[in-house]
Amino acid sequence: MVNLLAMPESTSTQIAGRIETERPQLEEVKPTIDVRDLTFAYGNHEVLHEVSLQIPARAVTAFIGPSGCGKTTLLRCFNRMNDLVDAARIVRGSIMIEGRDINDPAVAVVDLLRAIGMVLQKSNPFPKSMYDTITDRLPTTGA
């Protein structure tokens, strides 16, 4: 059971002799990860629909939702692990990491895998490391 407490109304108080100064404006924060209108499908079945989000550097971001709602699929898009799944594809939209479209053919997938790690929910034993398994199936240099 969740109990909600009413928060008291905040009121401004004047302190004698205190001079109010303007707070400095925050600089515009550029996102490290910028997802724009991403639609993703397995075959003809679209599983992500027009997802847009921006994640700034050094931010803690949580994806919370029921099983099967697309959290892991979106995370796997960030380091192109979905490239290993037959018929999996981005239908439209883009994923920019540090200003670069990660699905650009010139992006070296191996370098992306080094930069964007992923801790899987369940342990998956592989005959080789995850890195070796992925790099055996993906091109190692950009086009």
Highest mean pLDDT among 18-27, 37-46, 124-133: 37-46
CB neighbour class for 109 (10 Å; exposed up to 12, middle 13-18, buried from 19):
buried
CB atoms within 10 A of CB 127: 6
Look at 9-18, 75-84, 128-137 and tell me which has the smallest mean pLDDT: 9-18
> How large is the average pLDDT for residues 123-137?
59
| pTM, two decimal places | 0.64
Cα separations (Å) of 132 from 39, 78, 114, 116, 137?
Answer: 29, 18, 12, 15, 9
How many angstroms separate the most distant Cα atoms in the chain?
Answer: 72
Provide the pLDDT for residue 110: 86
Task: Please say whether the beta carbons of 130 and 76 come within 8 A.
Answer: no
Provide the pLDDT for residue 90: 95
Write the pLDDT tens digit of every residue in 45-89: 999 999 999 999 888 888 899 988 999 899 999 989 888 889 999
Provide the pLDDT for residue 22: 54
Provide the pLDDT for residue 10: 47
Provide the pLDDT for residue 51: 96
DSSP 3-state assignment of 46? strand
> How large is the average pLDDT for residues 26-36?
78
> How large is the average pLDDT for residues 7-17?
51
**Residue in 65, 32, 61 with CA at minimum distance from that of residue 48:** 65
Task: Please say whether the beta carbons of 70 and 8 come within 8 A.
Answer: no
Residues paired with 39 in a beta bridge: 92
